[in-house]
Structure 1
Amino acid sequence: MPIIRVDDLSKTYRLGDQDVTALEGVSLTVEEGVFMAIAGPSGSGKSTLLNIMGCIDTPSKGRVEIEGKDVSGQSPDDLADVRARTIGFIFQTFNLLPVLSAFENVEYPLLQMRELSAPERRERVNHYLSKVGLAKYAHHRPNQLSGGQRQRVAVARALVTHSRVVLADEPTANLDRRTGESILNLMRDLNQNDGTTFVFSTHDKRVMNRADRLVRMEDGQITALGLRRDGAWKFVQDRRKPEDDPEI
């Protein structure tokens, strides 16, 4: 059973006196253990799709299933519980609370899990800070950390709830090339060795080249679906025009 399935999704926003279509007729599944890149130019709909898959936004039309359960019509409180226990997020701007230490930022989503005791929370936080190589920076605040270190804190925060899937919105966009590579190496290692499922929205070819699933989007629609087989891409769906750039 897929972790996430979306079927015939459409999303329309009202901007002033105009309706703007961000998604139209999008269907996609996310299987356990994949390292998936949703790629496309700005305005293609990839971030909107990621937000709907992560229950941050709701579709205008269509169905969203998380672990086989239809969440399309759930209340904001119910969706918040789904997010807290199933889905981790990594954002390009890190979204860390500046007044909290690295430890406290990672612990923050656990505070709503009342079944966890303080020692259990502490054990989890220390485990994931060590996993991302930041154990000795636990008491540093975000302004005392580099961009790469802050993104590693965000990775630990996404993992600490034992999320089934981590959604990452342009996670390398605000990082220099070398730091971006180290973050990608970390997430690929977590995927291959721990089985963590990752879905990225990106226009970074480095992310696409690491992926084993590729979803190309343009104008709110999926134009290509690719699977990596023996180091090469096999496109199971491809509606790109011949003049489109075929490079990954």
Structure 2
Amino acid sequence: MEALKLIVVTFVTLFVSGTHSVTFTIQNHCPYTIWPGTMTGGGKPQLSSTGFELASGASTSLNAPSGWSGRMWARTWCSNDPSGKFTCRIGDCGSGQIACNGAGAMPPATLVEFTLAGYGGNDYYDVSLVDGFNLPVTIAPEGGSDGGLSCKSTACPADLNAICPSDLAMRNPEGYTIGCKSACLAFNKPEFCCTGNFATPVSCKPSDFSKVFKSACPQAYSYAYDDKSSTFVCGGGPNYHITFCP
């Protein structure tokens, strides 16, 4: 009887704590190779891969434990220098390797951000342009039960490099825009970075620059306090399909 009670208690504990994993499928629809990176937040263990090469048309899957939080992005314009050090012009994580080993993206880079099994047991996710833009991306929940929540896809499907204001553009040696900085990165002013006297939602408003991002990608974070239209919630433990260049 005691053994049965122990089994029941163990099962309930596992169920309540949400030990199931979530599968992220990362797809490259760009007409060139990209190098996705992952970074885990909160001092928790990193995922099984913190960076990898993904050829055009290819996909790969990563499993994340319940309660995982972190971000993903795709590095572009990458190569090995003469010493063998791996570097990327856009989204580099500074590790010198394809694996990022816990380091984040150097802006500008389009970010996808997740908190799994967060408040109320729900998943929270977004596409963020707060650190600028380099590639279009879509997040699509798959499976799960919404419990009355939206479980909607979110995306920045537009190529912001094509409409990037000249003051924000990062160009390659040939003069083509390969990344679009945020106004915060470009000018480092409190009103663009939502710092100092502008560190509240009331005082920090959208700028003309962030409005360019928002107009092209209305579901994505365009500046730090863009929560109302840009944070998405889903219950039931779905998996997620992340597509670059959807």
Length-normalised TM-score, structure 2: 0.27
**Higher helix proportion:** 1
For the pair shown, the structure with the greater C-alpha radius of gyration is 2
- TM-score under structure 1 normalisation? 0.27
Which structure has more relative contact order (CA 8 Å, sep 6+)? It is 1
